[in-house]
Amino acid sequence: MSGCEAPEFLLRCVLPFETAPAEVRLLRKAVVGQLGRWGLPAAADEAALLVTELATNVLKHVGEGVSATLILEWRGERLRVEVHDKSRTIPALRSAECDEECGRGLHLISACSLEWGAVLTAAGKAVWCEIPLSAGKSCRRVERAAEALEGYRAGCRGRHGKMAEAGMEESAIELIADLLHWSAARGQAPDDLLDLAQMYYEAEVDAA
């Protein structure tokens, strides 16, 4: 036997697409189908969510009808998702500015991925992320939380303008404070609500 190391296990799928809402939905279905064929159905929900966010960001910030490419790579215990487009503008994760301009996309990608990044290519750029193939409910909880915060911030715009400019972290604090007021109004101790939430969180982290 030679001293060479065995090559890393790798499967690769390349899916060209055009940026349009209908195409993004088809792309999501294609990802679920591909992972099913690879025998990775447990990773399908998280991968489809990330692909949707990456493709939607191209639609929003590069333009509708432009050509792009999705690449899926099964690398051992990780799944790598890349979206290539022809823009050379590298996205950056910033707090309040990104909340307003980029929506939840980069925040979800960052929260649900082990790693993510963006690089320039010969034709433009690629935004990539990697998830563990054991990914589960934690990412879906992040998605639900982001949706709840978006709805909460929208409702707060009519109450006081400051909340409209707040970042996601400030909005989360305001939402938690409102939930504590709601708990107290129902005769429940706010500390008990926090303790239960912490218990659920720790149990899921330990099980992951």
Domains of the chain: 10-135 (3.30.565.10), 138-207 (no CATH)
Starting at the edge strand found earlier in the chain, the sheet holding 115-120 runs 10-18, 67-75, 78-85, 125-132, 115-120
pTM of the complete model: 0.66
What's the pLDDT tens digit per position in 146-165? 777 777 777 776 555 554 44
Judge contact between 33 and 48, C-beta under 8 A. no
Amino acid 12: pLDDT: 94
Q: What share of the chain is helix, strand, coil (3-state, %, to 5)?
A: 55, 20, 25
What's the pLDDT tens digit per position in 133-143? 865 556 666 76
What's the pLDDT tens digit per position in 73-112? 998 889 999 999 999 999 876 644 444 444 467 878 888 8
Question: Which DSSP state fits 181?
Answer: H
Q: How confident is the model at residue 55 (pLDDT cuts 50, 70, 90)?
A: very high
